[in-house]
Amino acid sequence: MFGGSVAFEKIDMTYAEYAREGFNQLIAASALVAFIVLTLRDQHGAKSDVLLTLLHGALIVETLLVLVSAAMRLNLYIDTYGYTDARLFAYWTIITIGIMLVLLLANVLQRESQGVLMRRSLVVLGVSALIFNYSMPDALSARLNFKRAEAGQRYDLMSIHQLSEEAVPIVVRELQTPHVFGDMKTDSVI
């Protein structure tokens, strides 16, 4: 769960499969936990006893640990191949789910109504979506990958042709800079 590259070496998976498995586990566990907690709170009422509140809290905290594990798997993947808009979207999703789980935990511990949680969650989702869209993920991934190239880290050159128009000014500027591809380690595997 938290072994990183050491744990990865012991299994027969590609980096992509390893990262996707962690990401898929995160989505499934988060949805299941939210469904269980919200359903049980609806059945028992927001003012449930202390033991049930603690059990809900423990379940949410355990899910946050799965979130950390998924982020570590994604970091391993990015350390090997660099950034893409899909990998940045995965980070955005992990952060958004983390915030939503913290909101759920606060709602459970404060014993607030689920209507309050829903309103806060909608605001967080809206703000989160706006932030992701305005971050221009293709341009951001190009910028981050060129920084990796300058630092001598591996970068997947094949991903450049998949970028949208928002990344064109960055790619053109960086490709015209002679030092960018000097000693850079490249990998054509996507």
- Give the pTM: 0.75
**Residue 15 tokens, joined:** 């980096």
- pLDDT tens digit string along 66-92? 888 888 878 888 887 888 888 889 889
Range with the poorest average pLDDT among 41-50, 65-74, 85-94, 99-108: 41-50
pLDDT confidence of 10, banded at 50, 70, 90?
low
Average pLDDT over residues 114-132: 92
Average pLDDT over residues 3-11: 59
From residue 55, how far is each of 37, 48, 60, 62, 181 by CA, in Å?
9, 11, 9, 11, 54
**Domain segments of the chain: what residues?**
4-135, 139-187
